[in-house]
Amino acid sequence: MKTAFLVIAMFMVFGICNITYSADNYALNFGGTKDYVKCGTNNLPEGTSERTVEAWFKTEYAGDALKQILSYGAPGTFGGMFGLMTRHRNLSFTQWGADLTGQTIISDGKWHHAAISYNGKEHTMYLDGKEETKGNPQPFNTVLNNCTIGCWYIADNNLGEFFEGTIDEARIWKFAKTQEQIKEDMMKALIGNEPDLVSYWNFNEGKGKLLADLTTSDNDGELVGAPEWVEGAPVESAEVSTVGKLAITWGRVKGK
């Protein structure tokens, strides 16, 4: 009887969790010319402080133009920017004037996870949880300004490097994540209150012109142009995570 009561109680608790978190999974598709999201910059890491920036993306673009995924700082100021982008057929990281570029082809129309981590000494770029390249391009002094998804942005609507493809699950942390930490989190949706997470956009609105930052930084994004809501990256939603935990617990109960 105690076991049956425990299982029923678990179903009730996890059922409430399933109501709390939506199973909808969306992303934004950008056309490569005028589409982007303009976000706030509250609490974002600046200067030479540690940080990690990550996002899911997919693209078929393999031309010569650079395409920004997620960036902030001061484009046009040498060393003043911090951004993930695609360069030709590869993933790249820019500080504006000093870059790192990987070798793996990513212009295949498939979902990929990108991350750049800075630990106070060097930058390490990861693709799909694997180390792609590392180095310490100098100088490096990020200016706290202009956070955008899908392009870089300078004041007075000076824009460039519009992304052509789909972006989802953008995250900014105020510490340098290790490869193990990146692999652990990349396939899972977050809540927004994780330690040292300073901005998190899960793209699950599915409609409208607002892209909500789920952290207390409130760096909500405004959709500009006509990015299209589409199916999201292959991350495990909060609802699925809950069910998974229930299955594990139920298995343990049955085993006793």
Query: Domain 24-234 - what CATH class?
Result: mainly beta
| Dihedral (Cα; 74, 146, 46, 204), 10-degree rounding | -140
**222 beta partners:** 38, 210
State yes or no: cis peptide before 195, omega within 30 of 0: no
Per-residue model confidence (pLDDT) at position 253 = 35
Once rounded to an integer, what is the mean pLDDT over residues 121-139? Answer: 93
Q: Tokens 């076991």 map to which residue?
A: 3
Per-residue model confidence (pLDDT) at position 20 = 38
Element (H or E) spanning 246, and its range?
A: helix 238-255
| pLDDT tens track for 138-194 | 788 999 989 999 999 876 677 889 999 999 999 999 999 999 999 999 999 999 999
pLDDT over threshold 60, residue 200: yes
pLDDT over threshold 60, residue 210: yes
| pLDDT tens track for 81-115 | 999 999 999 999 999 888 899 999 999 999 999 99
| Token digits of residue 220 | 């909500």
pLDDT over threshold 70, residue 205: yes
Which residues have a Cβ under 8 Å from the Cβ of 220 and sit 6 or more positions away?
39, 40, 210, 211, 212, 213
| pLDDT tens track for 30-77 | 999 999 999 999 999 999 999 999 999 999 999 989 999 999 998 888
160-187 burial, b at 16+ Cβ within 10 Å, e below that, comes to ebbbbbbbbbbbbbbbbbeeeebbebbe
pLDDT over threshold 50, residue 254: no
Per-residue model confidence (pLDDT) at position 8 = 40
Once rounded to an integer, what is the mean pLDDT over residues 219-245? Answer: 81
Domain boundaries defined on the chain? 1-23+237-256, 24-234
pTM for the structure as a whole: 0.84
Once rounded to an integer, what is the mean pLDDT over residues 105-133? Answer: 97
More confident position, 4 or 76:
76
pLDDT band of residue 137 (cuts 50, 70, 90) is confident
pLDDT over threshold 90, residue 16: no
